[in-house]
Amino acid sequence: MLHTPGHAAGHLAFRLLPSGAIVCGDLVSGLGTVVIDPPDGEMEAFLASLDRLARLAPPVLLPAHGAPLADGTAALAALRAHRLAREEAVLAAWKQGLREPAVIVPVVYPGLSAALELLAARQVRAHLDRLDRHGRLTAASI
């Protein structure tokens, strides 16, 4: 059993032996993006959990939603890269003077359906929180 916070503070994953496959629950999705919804969800913890699982070099990930993901290590690396790229897009929007998640959403999630905008705004909030903790949201960053 592995404590893998990020999506939720008490999230757990399970490594299956002898295969090394990981039942990753809602930490990873085979269908799309996992929502990181503060305050229970936290981006820094999410990224650390991805790194923790990647160090185990899982041959396959078994998410709660979607099909199994072959080459778990590559899938985790791709998800981490995607999140960090999205974070840079959020930072770029911040540097353009956009300050509210709801205003940033159309910039970093162009074409998103209205039904998903609230979840996307929560995701943007998670990125802003992380950027702020790392000292990247300063007046000088405008």
DSSP-derived secondary structure for 31-98? SSPPP--TTTS-HHHHHHHHHHHHHT--SEEEESSSS-EESHHHHHHHHHHHHHHHHHHHHHHHHTT-
Q: Where do the domains of the chain lie, and which CATH numbers do they carry?
A: 2-141 (3.60.15.10)
What are the pLDDT tens digits along the chain (142 aa)?
Answer: 999 999 999 999 999 999 999 999 999 999 988 999 999 999 999 999 999 999 999 999 999 999 999 999 999 999 999 999 999 999 999 999 999 999 999 999 999 999 999 999 999 999 999 999 999 997 655 5
Note the pTM of the prediction, 2 decimals: 0.93
Q: How many CB atoms lie within 10 A of CB 58?
A: 24
